[in-house]
A and B are shown apart, each in its own frame.
Chain A
Amino acid sequence: MRVVNIKPRPGARFLIGLVPIVVILIVYAILSAARLEANPNDRVLPTFSAMGQAVAQFATQTDPRTGQITAWSDTIASLYRLGIGVIIATFATLLIGIALGVVPLVRAALGPLVAIIAVIPPIAILPILFIAMGLGEASKIALIALGIAPFMIRDLAAHVAGLPVEQMIKAQTLGANSWQLTLRVALPQALPRLIDSLRLSMGPAWVFLISAEAIASDVGLGYRIFLVRRYLAMDIILPYVAWISLLAIATDALLLLISRKAFPWAHGGTL
């Protein structure tokens, strides 16, 4: 049988997917044990139990300086920035993307501007944001929003403009004016696509969040990672990275669930 025709069943597929992850964990454990045997004070590859202890301390004990549980306050601060930034970007996309897609006049007026903004590397404008908005929350939120919005706007505008022209003509023969066309034909078909492009944009959004926190912050997941780096505290960095991945996976699953529940027609489902 040809390799391309071997299709694992769902249970088998899950086990096969687990294999590389388990292999990596085992390899890590072996390497870690080897290094610690050579030097018991090594900090680069801490054991799983050392990481567990560090996590337990970060996630349960209050920091005497701030009076808060460090991991918890870091998570809240980061998710707040990420959430507000993403919400601003999403609403901007909805407004601008649909207008660009539906109204040729708006496309002519704003299309080139959006295309120019989209090619600017967002990190390059971070200093501008810091100067203009200070080192507080506003500049970090602005970086996330400005970082992901141009891609999402262009994606949504292209999707809406690509809706079959027959649909737009049909809606007009059914008496729809421009506003009704936007509201009843373009908007509902744009929403599942918006969630799709938001799912793709969550990765870059985390990058911008952590960059901003690394440069100027006093709390946050990215701030903590870059702070403890000075002490080679891999026992904190690795669990923090794992925790960020977990948050990202949960966000993605949540967005997919929302899309499936709210737009069954877009996923081949029934009412």
Chain B
Amino acid sequence: MTTLLSLRDVWVEYGDKVVLERVDLDIEQGSFVSVVGPSGAGKSTFLRLVLGQEGPTRGQILLDGIPLTAECHPDRGVVFQRYSVFPHLTAVQNVAFGLECDQSLLLGKLFGRAKRDALARATEMLAAVGLEHNLDVYPAQMSGGMQQRLAIAQALIKHPRVLLLDEPFGALDPGIRNDMHTLVTRLWREHGLTIIMVTHDIKEAFKLGTRVLAFDKRRIDPHAPNRFGATAVYDVPVTKKTQAEAIAADLAGGAAA
């Protein structure tokens, strides 16, 4: 396995407040990294760093050995918990958006044959996430699960090097969440994706991930709670056995429910 993403001694500080300190990580191509941790432990900051939404105060983030600039780029796709899709575009238009931006710099919109090609590719991608019967529906008419499927299809059409998921299933009910787990696992295998997923659900983290990172503060000064930042305190590779256990536990839980 080759290293895709590296963080070298990364710090994030907002004024006096240290959010992340000394984060040193190598993330391998094809891995599925789950990030867990309590609220305020810098999980989302970590994701924003990799996404390029903000830059580190100190340290370096390398993608394929090249330092990242603090700006979003199509090589890192993202699915947020909410607001990931455009409400004014239908499902197929939402997915075709990424293709249209590529091919039409001036208008961001394709016409004629190029448009038909883009829509055909978007339709294919929607079929891959199980939305082939909802091509011309606006997001407002979709359920939460369908909107997240759409957001995933929208991100995947750009073939990102890394797919970032920010609590993607946090707002879904348990049954739908299970369907989404199956979908994400299948897409991860079929497309050879590298995924970093932030979640609150530890069971979900172990069920899906090949590696689980737990963010928390190593040191706490009770008189200055913001003096020290969080870092990856646990870095657990999920072997087949534990994954099998997680799936077994999940099946048992499902059977009990």
Q: A residues touching B (Cβ–Cβ < 8 Å)?
A: 164, 166-167, 169-177, 179-180, 183-185, 188-189, 263-266, 268, 270-271
What is the minimal beta-carbon distance from B179 to any residue of chain A, in angstroms?
23
Q: In the complex the two chains form, what is the Cα distance from A30 to B240 in whole Å?
A: 91
Chain B interface residue bracket vs A:
35 or more
Is there an interface contact between A174 and B137, defined as CB atoms closer than 8 Å?
A: no
Look across to chain B and name the residue whose beta carbon is closest to the beta carbon of A181. B108
Is there an interface contact between B109 and A164, defined as CB atoms closer than 8 Å?
A: no
Within 8 Å of chain A (Cβ to Cβ): is B83? yes
Give per-residue flags for B47-90: 1 if the beta carbon is below 8 A from chain A beta carbons, else 0: 00001010000000000000000011110111010111111111
A271: chain B residues within 8 A (beta carbon): 90, 136-138
Q: Given known contacts A174-B101, A175-B102, is B137 in contact with A270 (CB within 8 Å)?
A: yes
Is there an interface contact between A270 and B138, defined as CB atoms closer than 8 Å?
A: yes
Is there an interface contact between A177 and B88, defined as CB atoms closer than 8 Å?
A: no
Tell me the dominant secondary structure on chain B's binding face: loop
Within 8 Å of chain A (Cβ to Cβ): is B256? no
B78: chain A residues within 8 A (beta carbon): 169-170, 173
Look across to chain B and name the residue whose beta carbon is closest to the beta carbon of A163. B83
Q: In the complex the two chains form, what is the Cα distance from A188 to B89 in whole Å?
A: 9
Is there an interface contact between B97 and A171, defined as CB atoms closer than 8 Å?
A: yes
What is the minimal beta-carbon distance from B119 to any residue of chain A, in angstroms?
14
Look across to chain A and name the residue whose beta carbon is closest to the beta carbon of B151. A170
A-B contact pairs, 28 of them (CB 8 A): A164-B83, A166-B82, A167-B84, A169-B80, A170-B84, A170-B154, A172-B71, A172-B72, A172-B73, A173-B51, A173-B158, A173-B160, A174-B155, A174-B158, A175-B74, A175-B101, A176-B108, A177-B101, A177-B105, A179-B105, A183-B107, A184-B100, A184-B109, A263-B88, A265-B87, A265-B88, A265-B138, A270-B137
Q: In the complex the two chains form, what is the Cα distance from A127 to B14 in whole Å?
A: 52
Is there an interface contact between B77 and A173, defined as CB atoms closer than 8 Å?
A: yes
Within 8 Å of chain A (Cβ to Cβ): is B239? no
Give per-residue flags for B83-123: 1 if the beta carbon is below 8 A from chain A beta carbons, else 0: 11111111000000110111001111100000000000000
Is there an interface contact between A169 and B108, defined as CB atoms closer than 8 Å?
A: no
Q: In the complex the two chains form, what is the Cα distance from A59 to B107 in whole Å?
A: 49
10 new A-B pairs (CB below 8 Å) besides A170-B155, A175-B102, A265-B140?
A173-B78, A173-B158, A173-B160, A174-B98, A175-B74, A177-B101, A185-B86, A189-B87, A265-B87, A270-B138
Look across to chain B and name the residue whose beta carbon is closest to the beta carbon of A265. B138
